[in-house]
Structure formats: C-alpha cells, structure tokens
Amino acid sequence: MEKQPPAWSRLLDLSDKALAVLLLAPAGLLLSLIIVYPVLRLIYTSFFSLSLTSGLPAEFVGLENYQLMIEDPVFWETTWNTVLITLITVPGALVVGMGLALLANLPFRRQWPVRLSLLIPWALPLSFAGLIFAWFFHSEYGVVNDVLSRFGIEGVIWFNSPNLAFAAICLTIIWKTSSFMALIILAGLQTIPRSLYEAADVDGAGRIRQFFEITLPLLKPAIVVALIFRTITALQTFDIPFMMTGGGPGTSTATLAMYIHQNTVSFLDLGYGSALAVVMFALSMCVTVIYLRIIRTKE
C-alpha cells in the first residue's frame, strides 16, 4: 500500500503562482485591514451628512460635501497654503539637506559631531520643534528678534503679518526636515566609489565639475526617494503651523490638514471632514504617481 505524503509536502506540489498567492495572503489581509478599509470607509463617510453636534442620524447626501467645499473660501485658502508650503519647503529642504550631507561626508578626523547634529532636528518630535520655534520667533522674548537687534535691525512682530508668519513657518519646516533629506543623501553619497573622484582628478576635472558630473547623477535615486517622502509629508503639514501660529493671524497660515482636524475634532462634522481628507488623500496619490512615473521613464 502506498503511503499518503505528509500534509506539508502537498504545499510543494502547488504551482509557483498559487504558492506566491498563498504566502502573500496574510500580508495582503493585514494591508487591507489597516489601509484599504480605512480609506474606503473615509470615502464612504464623505458622502454622508454626519455631524455629531446636530443630534441627527447620518444621512446620505451624495456629493453635497464636495459641493460645499468648492464654495468654501477657507478650503481654498488652506489648500493654497499647503501647496505653497510644499513648493517652498521641499526644494528648500533638498538644497539645505544636500549641503549638510556634503558637509557630513567631508573627511573630518572626527565626523560624529557633524553627524550627531544632523540627527538632532530629525529626532525631535514635530510639535516640539513647532513649540521651540514659536518661542524663537516671539516678538518680545524670541531669540530671532534679539539677534536682529544686535545687528541694529529693529525686531518685527512675526505672527502679526501673514507673510512673516508664513516665512517663519517655512524656515522652521526646512530646519526640521533638511536633516532627514541629509541622512538619505549621505547614505547615497557613501555608495559612490572614491575611485571615480580619483580618476576625475587625474583627468583634471575641478571640484564643481566633479559634483555635477559624478556626485549628482549617482545621487539621483537617493534624491528621488527623499523627495517622495518629503513631498507627501509636506502635503500633510500640521504640527509646526499648529504649534507656531494656530493658523493665525486669522486663518492666513492654516493648512489643509489643520482644517481637516478642525472640522472633525473640534466641530465634529465627520462628513465634511472626511470629504476634505479624501481631497488630501487624492493630492498625495497624485504626487506619488507623478514621482513614480518620473523614476520609470528615467530608468
């Protein structure tokens, strides 16, 4: 009589494809639980009039929340602020981060102080950075106005002016996020073989030429990765303006994420808040798709 093969060995009889599906199933299930379900639920809620302060049950209203959004000046203002913050702080953090990475990559005898100082802004919680810089830019007790006065420049009330408040926020975000850019770029820099530069030296290429001909092209993958992460977090900017200005003066420095938080957590208008969040989700998706396209075409 022939012996039945043990149960586990039947797994091996499966085709490669079926096995792959089987082995991926737990991960797929987990992903759909923690990502797909909440996103679908968010989109679903955005079609309802669901306000906890109204005392009324949820009611299906179709696209009404989206229509309200188009007529809502605060939505446009906060979206524009968010886009502007992204357009200013992402390139800003890239340039500063690149500089910091090159500095940290210089052949100092002791590199750890440079690298440690790179890590500190990255390791600070966002809201903490916002709190610290709110004090830095305070018109009376702040260090920024104090430094300005030492150079004979009269201090300004940063948070009284939409433009100055916006500038203060962008500077803070660049300070906070450039170290993250620097860390990724530094890792990229260290994969570039020394021999390339030695060869360039022999060929008589100057430092600047070496940077543009060797460093930058070889850094491209690291830069793109850093840019994707930074752009998406920039679109979700919340903590730093929340702690620094609370969106003020008026609503001139409020971001879309702050407006979502206000509608859902403070006003308890879950329907409208969800619709706003769907827009932010769509914005992040668009940006990711654009970046991925760029990488593919480049390859």
CA 171 – CA 59 distance, rounded (Å): 44
Give the type of residue at 177: T
Residue 49 beta carbon to another protein: minimum distance, rounded to whole angstroms: 14
Of the ranges 168-176, 178-186, 265-273, 281-289, which one interacts with another protein (CB under 8 A)?
265-273
Q: Can residue 221 be called a binding residue for another protein (CB under 8 A)?
A: no
Compute the C-alpha angle 79/81/86, nearest 5°.
95
Q: Site for another protein (CB under 8 A): how many residues?
A: 25
Shorter beta-carbon distance to another protein: residue 99 or 155: 155
Q: Can residue 140 be called a binding residue for another protein (CB under 8 A)?
A: yes
Residue 105 beta carbon to another protein: minimum distance, rounded to whole angstroms: 41
Residue 108 beta carbon to another protein: minimum distance, rounded to whole angstroms: 42
Q: Which of 43, 252, 281, 291 binds another protein (CB under 8 A)?
A: 252
Q: Can residue 267 be called a binding residue for another protein (CB under 8 A)?
A: yes
Q: Which of 247, 257, 260, 272 binds another protein (CB under 8 A)?
A: 247
Residue 138 beta carbon to another protein: minimum distance, rounded to whole angstroms: 7
Within residues 29-58, the interface with another protein by CB under 8 A covers 52-55
Q: Can residue 138 be called a binding residue for another protein (CB under 8 A)?
A: yes
CA 132 – CA 296 distance, rounded (Å): 41
How many whole angstroms from its chain centre is CA 88?
A: 13
CA 276 – CA 61 distance, rounded (Å): 15
Instruction: Find the length of the chain.
Output: 299
- Long-range contacts of 214-218, Cβ-Cβ distance < 8 Å, separation of 24 or more: 215/189, 218/188, 218/191, 218/192
* Residue of 202, 200, 221, 222 lying closest to 211 (CA atoms): 200
Q: Are residues 279 and 46 in contact, defined by beta-carbon separation less than 8 angstroms?
A: no
Of the ranges 37-45, 95-103, 201-209, 244-252, which one interacts with another protein (CB under 8 A)?
244-252
Give the type of residue at 135: W
Query: Six-digit token pair at 245?
Result: 């200005």
- Residues making contact with another protein (CB under 8 A): 52-55, 138-140, 157, 159-162, 246-252, 262, 265-268, 270
